[in-house]
Amino acid sequence: MEENNTQTKNFFLYARKSTDEPDRQILSIEAQLFELREFAKKEGIVIAREFVESKTAKQPGREVFNEMIDCIEEEGVQGILAWNPDRLARNSVDGGRIIYLIDTGHITALKFPTFWFDPTPQGKFMLSIAFGQSKYYVDNLSENIKRGIRQKLRNGIFPAWAPIGYVNDKVNHCIIVDENKTDYISKAFRLYASGEYPLSAVRKIINKDGLVGKKNKTLSVANYQYILKNPIYYGVIRYNGELYEGKHQPIISKKLFDQVQAVMRQKSKPKCRTLKPYLYRGLFHCAECGCLITDETQKGHNYLRCTKRKTACSQKYVREEIVNEQVKTAIQKVSLPADWTAFCLSQNDKDKLSTITSAGSFVQKSKDEIADAEKKMEALLDMFLSGAITQLEYVAKKQKILNQKIEASEKLTAFEQKSYNRFELVENFIKSANQAENIALQGNFLTQKNFLQKIGSNFQIKDKMITFDLKNPWTLTENLGAEARSAEAMGSKKVFFDVMRRGWDSNPRTTFMVNSFQDYGDRPLCHLSKYNN
């Protein structure tokens, strides 16, 4: 009798596939449709309309499901055909709507190939149990996922889709560096840390270089702001407002990340004024009154003059060509002869091969700081689990300790490389000093000006003569250029190299500029005329 009544009723077919369910757990929509149509033919069920959607049922708000329920209430279709009750509902709201429509008579039949239902008190009770089991499955699955995420975070594994600059390693279930994008990410951080580029300029430069996001889409300003504020790039995972130490390879250092955050807080903006590109604009001050030296053009020539804004000043104009010649002479005075260059490079190579820097005490101290930070984090976790501190206190203190641990690790790494870095610094200085003569003679005034800024500071003009203080260690080569190019008044080449080398020694045995050179370190250029023979 019940079969005859079923044949006279119109049914809605409903098929659903959740986007977050693995294929092995539930039939695909195509398989559901095939099975349900075959079941309808076998049972003599008339399908009035098919409703299909791909959306999770763990929360109310499915558009297609709501449309089907509205049609049932309005059109009088009295049955629903689905693969299983969990296809209809996995939450209490949708399950309750189905049961309520059964109570009110809008739904008189539910057909499932895998579940029996009869519109009786017993049948509705079993259906409510089925809906409850479906909801329990979703709730339990959610807890399992959260537990898995927490364990990943404890293990230092990023528990989501990899951000730009990293890719997901599906084999090892972690994230690894995307070699094609790391240079773009680090460049973006360096550009913004300089304080000369706003986010829009960083976006324009890096996008032009070729950085793209998912699906090869160009990145927006908001994307770059998210990148520059994300601590994952220096090795820390931020999840739900809490920081965790990551096991992935950092792309930048924490120091660079902190510089970016400081610039972002200050909302640094580039200078937008368009000024005539004078060569020495903003470089010199007046030695008499301290005002800035400005530039102007008169009769086809560029002149440098004091702005005289503070007080009356007697200093006169000086032509740019005269300043160029003085800069050229200054650079020549700090050049290093070829034979001295070859000797110093040879000595530096010998030191690099034979010297083993003792890092004992500092390395041990840094390791102790790292171990102490780990102990504090464990103790902090115990306090949180015992209820001695709140979650907010735990997160704040953990973040502070974690940052201290990372800073100690970075200092340790930098210190271990320091002895090798000083050899590179010495080598770069020797080569730069050897190139000074070529820079002075090649006639590129911008290159000469940049080299002048490299070797000196406190640039002033007085009586049409430039003066400045040489930086260490350029005072050594200045003295050599003035007195010892042929006579070697400073002594042997080895004495010169030993004095210069101490400036980069990780444990200097004396002040960088020894007494025999201090008399020359702060002498202005105009006072060196006596050395011109």
Single out the residue of 349, 328, 277 nearest to residue 466, CA to CA. 328
- 312, with CB counted inside 10 A (0-12, 13-18, 19+), is exposed
**What class has domain 2-148?**
alpha beta
Decide if pLDDT at 533 tops 60: no
What is the pLDDT averaged over residues 171-184? Answer: 90
State the pLDDT confidence band at 501, using cuts at 50, 70 and 90: low
pTM: 0.43
pLDDT tens-digit map of 465-498: 999 998 877 877 766 644 445 444 444 566 666 6
Q: Where in the chain is the domain with CATH 3.90.1750.20?
A: 166-266
DSSP string, 125-186: HHHHHHHHHHHHHHHHHHHHHHHHHHHHHHTT---SSPPTTEEEETTTTEEEE-TTTHHHHH
The structure tokens 């102990």 sit at: 375
pLDDT tens-digit map of 30-84: 888 888 899 988 888 888 889 999 888 888 888 999 988 888 888 767 788 998 8
User: Is the separation of the CB atoms in 13 and 47 below 8 Å?
Assistant: yes
Q: Where in the chain is the domain with CATH 3.40.50.1390?
A: 2-148
- Tell me the average pLDDT of the chain: 79
Q: Which amino acid is at 371?
A: A
- Specify the pLDDT at position 69: 87
- Specify the pLDDT at position 433: 82
- Specify the pLDDT at position 191: 92
Q: How many CB atoms lie within 10 A of CB 293?
A: 23
Does domain 166-266 bear CATH number 1.10.10.10?
no
* Cα distances (Å, whole numbers) of residue 159 to 77, 100, 104, 155, 170: 46, 40, 46, 10, 12
Decide if pLDDT at 396 tops 60: yes
